[in-house]
Amino acid sequence: MRYIISYVSTQIRELDPSEVVHILHETETRNDKFGVNGLLVYSEGNFFEVIEGEMEKIKDLYRHILKDERHKDVILLFQKEIHKPLFDEKDSHFISENTLYRKMEIEHFNECIQDLDQQTRGMVNQMLRVMGMQASAGDVD
């Protein structure tokens, strides 16, 4: 059974850019290795992550993430079973506020989550807006 979990959290202290890059790279490498896909966004001290993969693996990973001392105030946004994989193999996206390719990555991510129900997609889009990764309807260029 495939499973998806999403949460937001806050860095425990001011992280310098190299520490953020380290978390993003560590996550990317481990997720590729363990068949986990999704999106990790960092912006202004907050993290937003969506992880998708085999159910036991995802639940276990989330337990590890909860214990990670680099962040706090982890708020679970949703967790649910899904009926087929949302992403292509090794389709992970790791984005920080300075990443230049983020627009393309976000567009691709949005295409991948089309099969999720409307409410869940709405929540993801809301979070992406809060994290400054997606324009709001009222935004002016």
Residue ranges that bind ligand FMN, judged by CB under 6 A: 9, 23, 26-27, 30-31, 36, 40, 47, 49, 51, 61, 64-65, 68, 70-71
Q: Rounded to the nearest whole angstrom, what is the least distance from the CB of residue 43 to ligand FMN in the complex?
A: 12
- CB-nearer residue toward ligand FMN: 32 or 110: 32
80 DSSP β-pair partners: 4
Measured from the CB atom, the residue of 96 and 120 that comes closer to ligand FMN is 96
Closest separation in Å from C-beta 100 to ligand FMN: 21
Nearer to ligand FMN, 30 or 136 (CB): 30
